[in-house]
Amino acid sequence: MFKFAYNTKLFVKKLPRNISNIEYAKQLIRSSGSVAANYIEASESLSKKDFVMRIKICRKEAKESVLWLRLVDALTIHEAERKILIDEATQLMKIFGAIISKI
């Protein structure tokens, strides 16, 4: 989770600076960081209910990260990196979904 948030931060630094990218990048940084933060909270939860809630938030924030990644205007040279991050966020959504379904 940390790696996803960190790689997202590095990607955002490479984006062209325009009005839409600035706002989308802020949201992307927040949502990707929230995946990692809520996963840490889930792993240290005191109850099953709290664990499930945190994992659901992780899944929601990963889904939101995909949205922001799709909305940013990436230069062609960064398109491959964006696709990798979208794939990683999608995989995280699936992982969190699998965790939720097994509880």
Q: Indicate if the alpha-carbon torsion angle 60, 58, 94, 3 is positive or negative.
A: positive
CA end-to-end span of the chain: 20
Does the pLDDT at position 1 exceed 90?
Answer: no
Residue 13 lies in a domain: no
Residue 75 lies in a domain: yes
Which residues have a Cβ under 8 Å from the Cβ of 89 and sit 6 or more positions away?
4, 32, 35, 62, 63, 65, 66, 69
The pLDDT, as a whole number, for residue 103 is: 86
CATH of the domain at 54: 1.20.1440.60
Neighbours of 26 (CB within 10 A): 12
Total domains, the chain: 1
Q: Which helix (H) or strand (E) holds 97?
A: helix 79-101
- Percent of the chain past pLDDT 90, that is, above it, reads 90
Residue 87 lies in a domain: yes
Q: Which domain holds residue 54?
A: 2-8+19-101
The band of 31, judged by pLDDT with boundaries at 50, 70 and 90, is very high
Residue 27 lies in a domain: yes
Mean pLDDT over 89-100 rounds to 98
Residue 14 lies in a domain: no
